[in-house]
Structure 1
Amino acid sequence: MRHKPFLLALASAAMLAAPQQAKTADDAPQASSETLLPRAIDAQYSGYLLGIKVLNASLDARLSGGEYESDALFETAGLVRWFKKAEIEAEVEGEMDRSYPKPKNYRHMNAAGSKDRTIEITFTGDDVISDVNPRFGSMGQPPATREERLEAVDALSAILQMALNANRHADRPCGYDARVFDGKQRYDLRMIYEGDYEAKLKGYKGPVTSCNVYYIPVSGFDPEDLPDEDMENTPLRVWFADTPSYGVSMPVRFELQLDFGKAVIEIRDLDIAMGDSLAGADALD
C-alpha cells in the first residue's frame, strides 16, 4: 500500500475490528448554539522516520461567522529533500454546523516531479464533484457512489473535525468517526480511545488524549491500493492536546509503526486564538 502523508489524510492506518457505521454531526449529541470554537489555529509540525527528519508541515484554520477556511502544507525535509523534493498544498472553505465542518470547496495540489496533480472538490449539497488534472487512470473498483460522496468531507476538514470534537463529549473522548472523500477514494477514519497521558513535546507540554485511528477503505480503491493484513491491524496513534477550554484539541503527535521502524510527526509550535487573545505553546503548558 502506498502511504499518503498521514497528517493530511490520516490515511496510513487501517481497520482493526469489523466494520461499523461512522457517525457524523447529525448523529452526535446536540450542542448549544453557542458551541465554543477558536477564532484561529496555527500549528507547525516536524516529521521523523527512524529518528531522521523527513517532513515539515503546517496546518492553519480560521473560523468566523459560522464559516471556516483552512490550509495545510507538507514538504519533504532534511536529507530526504536532497533525493526527493515533494510538496503538497491543500485548502478548503465551508460552513460550520456546531463543531462540525461542512466543506464547500477543496483544492489539493501535489507537486512531486512528473506526478504533479491538482484535485478540486466541490460540495454542492446535491452532489460532490471532483475535478482531477491529470485524471486518475481509474476511479476505483467500484468507484465511490454519489451517496458515499455526499456523506463525506475532504481530508483537511476531517482533521479539523477531529480536533474540534476530541474531548468535547464525555462519552466519546476521541470524538466521532470521520468519513472522507479525497477526490477518488472514500474511506472512514475510526476513532478508538486509548488513554490519557502527560506530554512533553517541543511545541506542547500538558495532558493529552491518546486515540487509535483506523483507516477503513469504503470505495474508490484499486486492488493494489488496499491495505494489506498488517496495515489492517496497525492503527495510527494520535495524541490530542487536552485543551477543551480553547474550543479545540489539536493533534500534537502522530505515531505509526511500520515494518522497518516508527514514523512520527510532532507539534513544533502551536497558537490558538480565542476572541482577542492569543494562547501560545507556553500558555498551553
Structure 2
Amino acid sequence: MKRLLLAAAATLALAGLSTADTAPTPAKGSLMANVKAGEPMRMIYELDARAMILIIPATGRASFNVELKPNTYTIKSKVRTTGLADIFVNYDMELAASGHVRGGTLKTSGYVSQNRDGKKNRRVELSMKKDGFTMNATPRFGNLGEPPATQEQAILANDPLTALITFALEPRAKGADPCGGPIRVFDGRQLTYLHMKNAGRANVKSPAWSGEAIECHVTMDKIAGYDADELDKNDTLTGISGPLRMYLAPLENGSHVPVRIVADTDKVGKVTLQARTLRFEPLETAAAQTGGAGGAR
C-alpha cells in the first residue's frame, strides 16, 4: 500500500528517473549553463500525493533540496506519509545523493537510502565509479534479483534522486522531444528503464506552477534486480494500471520539472502527485532566506 500511495514519487523520484542517452551541452541561458558559469544554485522542490483508501483520504509528501555547483552537486530528500495515511501505512524515508556535473548533466558518485517503515528499517549505501559500483545494505537483501544487475549495466544508470533531478534540469537539444528518455535508474539492487512518450500538451494548475504543460506517458522495463514474482510483463509500473501520466512545466531557465503526476492504481484508485513548492535561488544567499513556498513560471 505504501508503494501504491507514493508510486510516482518512489518511481520518478525514489525508484525512478535517470539520464538520457546523450548528455547535451547546456544551452546558453539554461540553468545548468549558468551553474557551470559560476552561479551555484539551490532548487527547492516538494510533491504532495493524495489517494483514497476506502472513504478515508491518504496523503504523502516528497521533498527535495538540491545544491548545484559548477562541478559537483548534492541532493537531500524526505518521503513520508502524513495525516490519516499513518493509520494504514508507515512510510518514512530519508535519502541523499551526491556526484559530479559532466557535460550539463549529473552523474552519481554516492547514494544513501534509509527507510524507517517499522519493519526492516533498511539502510542502503551505494558508491558508483566509472568502472563499477559497490553496495552495502543493512539488513542485507535476501537476494539481488533474478538476474542481478551487472557492473556494466549499473554504471550506465543514476540513482533515483539524481535521476529525477537530472531529468528535470538537463537541457533539451533544439528540436528534441521534451519528454526525453529512455531513462535508466539503479537503486543499489533494482535496475529499471523508463520510457517516455510525448502525449501533447495540457493545461495544469498546481500550487507551485500553472500553465500549459507537456504531457508525457511513462512505462517501465524491469531490467535486473527484481524477484521472479515481480517480473510481470503486463505491469507497466508496479501496482499501476496503464501508463503513468506526468506533466512537465517548461520553465524559462531551461528546466522541465514535473508539476503533476497521475496514476490509476489497482488497489486505491487514482493517485495524484502535484508540485507544492518549486523555486530556484542563488546558493550563496539561500541560507539567509527563510519560509515561503514561492512559485516558478
Partner of 2:203: 198
TM-score normalised by structure 2 residue count = 0.82
Which whole-Å deviations, capped at 9, do the CAs of 1:225-276 have from their partners, x for residues lacking one? Answer: 2245253672211111110x22322211111111241011111121112588
Please state whether the residue corresponding to 1:284 is helix, strand or coil: coil
Structure 2 unpaired stretches of 5+: 36-40, 287-291
Amino acid at match of 2:101: M
Partner of 2:38: none
Amino acid at match of 1:173: P
Seen in structure 2, the aligned counterparts of structure 1 residues 169 and 52 have a Cα distance that, compared at 3 Å, is farther
The percentage of aligned residue pairs carrying the same residue is 29
How many residues align? The count is: 276
CA distance in 2 between partners of 1:166 and 1:248 (Å)? 7
Partner of 1:155: 160
Partner of 1:19: none
Is 2:230 aligned against 1:225? yes
Amino acid at match of 1:249: H
Is 2:75 aligned against 1:81? no
CA distance in 2 between partners of 1:227 and 1:13 (Å)? 17
Partner of 2:247: 239
CA distance in 1 between partners of 2:60 and 2:174 (Å)? 33
Seen in structure 2, the aligned counterparts of structure 1 residues 208 and 92 have a Cα distance that, compared at 3 Å, is same
Seen in structure 2, the aligned counterparts of structure 1 residues 259 and 26 have a Cα distance that, compared at 3 Å, is closer
Seen in structure 2, the aligned counterparts of structure 1 residues 139 and 151 have a Cα distance that, compared at 3 Å, is same
Please state whether the residue corresponding to 1:40 is helix, strand or coil: strand
Is 2:31 aligned against 1:36? yes
Which whole-Å deviations, capped at 9, do the CAs of 1:15-64 have from their partners, x for residues lacking one? Answer: xxxxxxx9956634444588532611101221111382420221121101
Q: CA deviation at 1:163?
A: 0.4
TM-score normalised by structure 1 residue count = 0.85
Contact 2:14-2:160 within 8 A present in 1 as well: no
Q: CA deviation at 1:283?
A: 5.4
Partner of 1:27: 22
Q: CA deviation at 1:111?
A: 0.6
- Of the three residues 68, 85, 95, the one matched with 1:63 is 68
- Of the three residues 129, 153, 159, the one matched with 1:124 is 129
Seen in structure 2, the aligned counterparts of structure 1 residues 93 and 275 have a Cα distance that, compared at 3 Å, is closer
CA distance in 2 between partners of 1:183 and 1:215 (Å)? 18
CA distance in 2 between partners of 1:230 and 1:160 (Å)? 25
Please state whether the residue corresponding to 2:112 is helix, strand or coil: strand
Seen in structure 2, the aligned counterparts of structure 1 residues 29 and 45 have a Cα distance that, compared at 3 Å, is closer
Partner of 1:105: 110
Contact 1:144-1:184 within 8 A present in 2 as well: yes
Q: CA deviation at 1:155?
A: 0.7
Seen in structure 2, the aligned counterparts of structure 1 residues 28 and 125 have a Cα distance that, compared at 3 Å, is closer
Q: CA deviation at 1:190?
A: 1.2
Deviates more, 1:77-86 or 1:58-67: 77-86
Partner of 2:266: 259
CA distance in 2 between partners of 1:34 and 1:77 (Å)? 39
Please state whether the residue corresponding to 1:163 is helix, strand or coil: helix
Structure 1 unpaired stretches of 5+: 15-21
Contact 2:279-2:295 within 8 A present in 1 as well: no
Amino acid at match of 1:246: N
Amino acid at match of 2:114: M
- Alpha-carbon RMSD across the aligned residues, in angstroms, is 3.0
CA distance in 1 between partners of 2:108 and 2:15 (Å)? 24
Please state whether the residue corresponding to 1:229 is helix, strand or coil: coil
